[in-house]
Structure 1
Amino acid sequence: MRKYLVVALLVGIFVLESIFVELLPAEIFNSNRILIPHFLLIGIIFLAVFGNRNIGILYGFVFGILFDIIYTEILGIYFFMFPFVVYICSKIMKVFHNNIVVVSIVSLIGISMLEIIVYEMILIIHLTSMDFSSFLNLRLFPTLILNAAFLVIVAYPFKRFFEKYAAERREQP
């Protein structure tokens, strides 16, 4: 039963990201900073670390292609980057102790990795003329602050939910 709740949660977060972008424009802060919510990626990373890594990677593929189809002009970037970031973060967590603070920091590292690689891909194909220091100041740092604030709110509920999901999967024959 909980597997359907996982799908519903991730779909809800996917929808929440677009609603969040519409309701909280950057002009509120009187700046030209770009705030990118990666709430879905955080949820998938928590699923991979506290739930099941293979299912987390699978959801990374599914939601990556949905993200590409709905939000981007270039198909394939998020389709490959979401599962790659989830895989790397889950491998990093094999080295460290699985506590909520470390997973939150690793999630922010994963978001940084995603943002930098997507920026570099877009720069290579000449869809942006933003230099790297402007990218750091206008997009990456505000994005990390936004997602860190989201992590403070949802990290513990996500951890508990995905641990219960993993326990339920282990109990099933």
Structure 2
Amino acid sequence: MKQSKVFILLFFLFIIQGTVIPLIPLFHAWDIQWVPEFVFVAILMIAFFGSLSWGMRYALIFGFMTDIVYSSVLGVYAFSLTLTVYLMSMISRWVNLNLVITILLVAAGIVAMEFQVYVIYLMIGLTDQSLGVFFQARVPSTLVLNALFTLLIYYPFRRYLVKMSDWIQK
């Protein structure tokens, strides 16, 4: 039951990040790319505060969902999300996870995941965006948007995940 609540939340975030967020006028005001990665942020927090295995499962599931809905190549997001969740979770074991460290790890994860997708798309010819434009027009705005989202959900979602992981271990 508790896992189904998490799945429903992730699915809701998946819908929000793809439909509602692009309709906000602020995101079209400047010549920059705002990329909401709310599902990825939540999955990273699941891996940090809940269970790495569940985080990787959700990364694979929602990565494939992203590939199916938004991409023309299957597996790019599934691979990138799963690998990045694993790597960031391994790094999170070396540090004391508080709000600031979590935001920094989420930011590093977003840059790593976005860069993986960019490089794969560049190699197979699906993008012609230069690396400079990628790091100027896409990365800073994406980091700000997702850091604000992390700040917004950190305390309630962390509390829920810690409670849920205690329940799973009993």
TM-score, structure 1 normalization: 0.92
Partners in 1 of 2:55 and 2:128 — Cα distance?
34
Partner residue of 1:99? 98
Superposition misfits of 4+ residues, deviation over 4 angstroms:
none
Question: Which runs of structure 2 are paired with 1:84-163 in the superposition (5 Å)?
Answer: 84-163=83-162
Stretches of structure 2 lacking an aligned partner (at least 5 in a row): none
Partners in 1 of 2:8 and 2:21 — Cα distance?
20
Partner residue of 1:47? 46
Partner SS state of residue 138, structure 1: helix
Partners in 1 of 2:119 and 2:20 — Cα distance?
25
Partner SS state of residue 95, structure 1: coil
Q: Write the letter of the residue equivalent to 1:21.
A: I
Stretches of structure 1 lacking an aligned partner (at least 5 in a row): none
Deviations 1:19-72 (A, max 9, x none): 233322532x2x221110000001001001100111110111111111100111
RMSD: 1.3
Shift of 1:77: 0.4
Partners in 1 of 2:41 and 2:127 — Cα distance?
26
Shift of 1:105: 1.0
Q: Give the 3 Å change call, closer, same or farther, for CA 73–21 of structure 1 in structure 2.
A: farther
Q: Write the letter of the residue equivalent to 1:22.
A: P
Between 41-50 and 4-13, report the one with greater CA deviation.
Answer: 4-13
Is 1:67 paired with 2:56?
no
Deviations 1:105-164 (A, max 9, x none): 101100000111111111122222221111111111111111111112111111111111
Partners in 1 of 2:94 and 2:79 — Cα distance?
24
Partners in 2 of 1:134 and 1:50 — Cα distance?
34
Tell me if structure 2 keeps the 8 A contact 1:51–1:163: yes
Shift of 1:100: 2.6
